[in-house]
Amino acid sequence: MTRTPLRFVLVAVLGCGGTTPASSPPVAPQANVKPPVSGGGAASGGCAPIPWQDDMNAGEATYQGKLDRIEAGLPNGEMEKALLVFLDTPACLPAGGDEKQTSEIQVYSPDPALEARLEALVGKAVVVTGEGFTAHTAHHHRPIVVDVKRVSTK
């Protein structure tokens, strides 16, 4: 039996298209999620610039769009829930990677009260502010993951 290296499994999970929320129309799958090689933000038009500090970490930024919940697969076959914001304007990824922008970000908060507030706003248009970073584990289901500090409705 041929084994697939773990890094290929993670790319397949992070880029899978089978994570569309039930309340939204089907969304095209994200292309392979690869860590960028240099910071600075993409200069291409059509995406909102993010203050990237290096090739993985962004400064605080604000994102607007519709908040929704998805079920996403892990490499071990288990499913987990994740919160996504389907952005009104795509966000720029750090320069140097294959991807230049994304229309979806994953959001979370380690603060239980703020996480509960996010859950309560599922299905609504929101404005979230927080510190972003590029996906780097199997639990990161979109190219940008944001540790939310503030959330409000639009």
**Residues β-bridged to residue 30:** none
Q: Is residue 74 part of a domain?
A: yes
What's the confidence (pLDDT) of residue 47? 84
pLDDT tens column, 20-32: 344 443 333 333 3
For residue 96, the model assigns a pLDDT of 62
pLDDT at 56: 87
Q: What is the pLDDT of residue 139?
A: 95
**Looking at per-residue confidence, does 57 or 15 come out higher?**
57
* Distance between CA atoms of residues 16 and 24, nearest Å: 16
CB-based burial, 16-38: b 16+ in 10 Å, e otherwise: eeebbbeeeeebeebeebbebee
Report field, pTM of the whole predicted structure over 0.85: no
| pLDDT over 80 at 13, yes or no | no
Q: Pull the structure tokens for residue 99.
A: 């991807």
Q: What is the pLDDT at residue 98?
A: 64
Residue 14 included in any domain: yes
Averaged pLDDT for residues 128-140? 94
Instruction: Examine residue 1 and state whether it is found in any structural domain, yes or no.
Output: no
Lowest mean pLDDT among 11-15, 25-29, 58-62, 63-67: 11-15
Q: Is the residue at 142 inside a domain? A: yes
Whether the predicted pLDDT of 60 surpasses 60: yes
Q: Which domain holds residue 31?
A: 6-153
Confidence (pLDDT) at 45: 60
Q: Which of 51, 25, 69, 66 is nearest to 151 (CA)?
A: 66
**What is the sign, positive or negative, of the torsion defined by CA atoms of 79, 83, 89, 93?**
negative
- In a domain? residue 135: yes
**Average pLDDT in the 94-109 region?**
84
Residue 83 located in a structural domain: yes
Q: Which of 14-18, 130-134, 147-151 has the lowest mean pLDDT?
A: 14-18
Domain assignment present for 75? yes
Number of domains into which the chain is organized: 1
